[in-house]
Amino acid sequence: MNENFLFALALTTLAGLSTGIGGIISCFAKRENYKFLTISLGFSAGVMIYVSFVEILQESIELSAKNLDGKFGEILPILAFFAGIAIIAIIDKAIPQEDNPHEFSSMGDHASKKLMRTGIFTALAIAIHNFPEGLATFISAYSNPQVAIAIAFAIALHNIPEGIAVASPIYQATGSKKKAIFYSFSSGLAEPIGGIIGFLLLMPFLNDVVLAVVFAVVAGIMVYISIDELLPAAETFGEHHLGIGGFVAGMAVMALSLLIL
């Protein structure tokens, strides 16, 4: 086991488990602080949408254009992006309607159950998109450690509000900090798992074109989560402008972090 493998594994694990930092942060807010919940959900959506369109999808387009000739190089990232949306949409639809956390009608016991489901579903969705993210981070770290540090830092940064998005509704619903932090950490474990599987199984077949597809699929999944799950929940559990403010703040923080890098 060489140094590059250990470095890639450590970097991917740290990036993934930063979701737990978000979980810890969410537990400092008061349980009935729906304003914090609204802002944090909007913030998460802002981070995920901004990084998807400005960073991840653009990286996919550049990789595809460099390695594929003609229109196909331009079309492939677009197809992969919508494939990512389709993948998470199918998972969404596979959940029975009564268990699918799209609508929240009240803040009573029924809403608490819905909040719990929202947190768990968000954790599942984030884990799914963290899997290919982990693959991309791991392979980048193994082949080019300097570039991978910047990628891992950006992923870790946006994983923190993702951890908040997972933990906040679970903490609101149950009052259990342990459950909230557990689910937020668990959602990030998919990154090192994806990295290891990618190294062991996909390394012989991995090239820039495959990475372009992976990045675009990740972007599609993240955009769908934001629009279908995070923003509607933020709208329902707080004032409209708080959710929008959190959304804009999330984009601004992500933009600043990318400029610094």
Q: Which residues are annotated as a binding site for Fe(2+)?
A: 130, 133, 159, 162, 191
Gap between the terminal Cα atoms of the chain: 30
Which residue numbers belong to the known binding site?
A: 130, 133, 158-159, 162, 191
Which residue numbers belong to the known binding site for Zn(2+)?
A: 133, 158, 162
